[in-house]
Amino acid sequence: MFKADIAISVKGLEKSYKKLKVLKGINLTIKKGSIFALLGANGAGKTTTVKILTTLLKPDKGSVQICGLDILSQADKVRGAISLTGQYAAVDEVMTGKENLRMIGKLRHLSDVNSRADELLSRFELTDAADRRVAAYSGGMRRRLDLAMSLLGDPSVIFLDEPTTGLDPQSRIAMWKIIKELSRSGITVFLTTQYLDEADQLADQIAILNDGKIVAEGTAAELKKLLPHGHIELKFNDGKLLQAVRDLLKEYSSSQDIQNSTLSVVTDGSIKQITDILNKLEKQGIPVAEFSQKLPTLEEVFLAIIGENKEKEAI
């Protein structure tokens, strides 16, 4: 990757709180204009990473550059290039939506505060609520206002710390749409999430953070390939056939769901194995009602990777 194409570069990042080591050497390279998801369970170190990258915390070791600017020696310039939307919607309740935007605009020393505020209010469907106090806003509206406030300074990189935690499904989908639009307009999005479907839906690149280390990194598809065991599902009209089929395919490991007369057979995903299974059934004259191939979900990958890590630690 050319240096000019890199939005965020993190090398050997370490951070401890007193004796507790939270980050144990993190390396990341994030391309300009992409959506990057840092995936991890609670306490994995996601928020600490975001705080360091947004100049709120100083790292113990390692270097971080945002758009080529060093977060320690050029902190103020970094702050000019980024925006942070934290875990809480950091909006002022007693002020109206428009007043909130105006305040941030003034703090960013923008010359056209009013027109920019109006433009963002309409973009985030808040025009009708613009003159109402934020105390009366719903959770989804607050998040949208929060994001609008973050965009006032025209940031190159935007950090979203768990942007959909606590939102209802509808607001969540609306937020996803907004995040995708941000990325389309050229902004680099760095988001943290504990939801796998969110990372799967949004991110161009995903890194799984576990216990202060990046344990896997890649696109959603690449991560799914890390689990070689895809499986196929065979559904039969007659549930009594299940046992016979299992005997027939005894070289494959399988599990049965008697209620739905469905058998899950683990394969390596190759055409050869799938053909072999179907041929065997055909020869015995066993009719298959439904056939489907299941790729591993990101959730399976996540659990498998984190599980492996735990085992290693135990040794």
5 secondary structure, DSSP code: G
Where do the DSSP E strands lie in 142-194? 157-161, 188-193
- For position 79 contacting other proteins by CB under 8 A, the verdict is yes
Q: What are phi and psi of 264, to 5 degrees?
A: -100, 125
Strands, E assignment, the chain? 6-17, 20-31, 35-39, 61-66, 69-70, 82-85, 157-161, 188-193, 205-210, 213-218, 230-235, 254-257, 262-267, 290-294
Residue selected from 3, 18, 19, 109 as contacting other proteins according to rule CB under 8 A = 109
Determine if 8 is a binding residue for other proteins (CB under 8 A): no
212 and 45 Cβ atoms separated by less than 8 Å: yes
Nearer CB in complex with other proteins: 140/153 = 153
Order of strands, sheet of 262-267, starting from the edge strand that comes earlier in the sequence:
254-257, 262-267, 230-235, 290-294
Name which position in 13, 26, 44, 82 contacts other proteins (CB under 8 A): 82
Angle between helices 169-184 and 139-151 (to 10 degrees): 10
- Asked if 274 interacts with other proteins (CB under 8 A), we say no
Task: Determine which residue in the list 9, 33, 34, 103 makes contact with other proteins, applying CB under 8 A.
Answer: 103
For 27, phi then psi, to 5°, come to: -125, 130
Instruction: Rule CB under 8 A: choose which of 88, 112, 128, 131 binds other proteins.
Output: 88
- Under the binding rule (CB under 8 A), the answer on residue 10 touching other proteins is no
Residue 108 binds other proteins, judged by CB under 8 A: yes
User: Is the four-CA dihedral 143, 144, 150, 156 of positive or negative sign?
Assistant: positive
DSSP-derived letter for residue 297 is: P
Structure tokens at 215: 């344990």
By C-beta, is 134 or 265 nearer to other proteins? 134
Number of shown-chain residues binding other proteins (CB under 8 A): 31
User: Which residue carries 């390279």 as its tokens?
Assistant: 29
- For other proteins, the binding residue among 17, 68, 106, 260 (CB under 8 A) is 106
Which 8-state DSSP code applies to residue 135?
A: G
Please identify which residue in 41, 43, 63, 107 interacts with other proteins, judged by CB under 8 A.
107
Residue 80 binding other proteins, by CB under 8 A: yes
Q: Which is nearer to other proteins, 59 or 140 (CB)?
A: 59
Question: Which of 94-102, 170-178, 244-252, 267-275 is the region at the interface with other proteins (rule: CB under 8 A)?
Answer: 94-102
Please give the radius of gyration of the chain, using alpha carbons only, rounded to the nearest integer: 24
Judged by CB under 8 A, does residue 294 bind other proteins?
Answer: no
Ranges within 44-63 binding other proteins (CB under 8 A): 51, 54-58
Q: Measure the CA–CA gap between 31 and 175, rounded to whole angstroms.
A: 22
**With respect to other proteins, which residue has the nearer C-beta, 48 or 267?**
48
Q: Is 225 in the site for other proteins (CB under 8 A)?
A: no
**Interface with other proteins includes 113 (CB under 8 A)?**
no
CB of 21 to other proteins, least distance (A): 18
Largest CA distance in the chain: 78
Nearer to other proteins, 54 or 193 (CB): 54
Looking at beta carbons only, is 103 or 286 nearer to other proteins?
103
Question: Residues 128 to 157: which contact other proteins by CB under 8 A?
Answer: 149, 153
CA 204, CA 222: separation in Å to the nearest integer? Answer: 11
The residues of the shown chain that bind other proteins, judged by CB under 8 A, are 51, 54-58, 76-77, 79-80, 82-84, 86-90, 92, 94-95, 99, 103-104, 106-109, 149, 153, 159
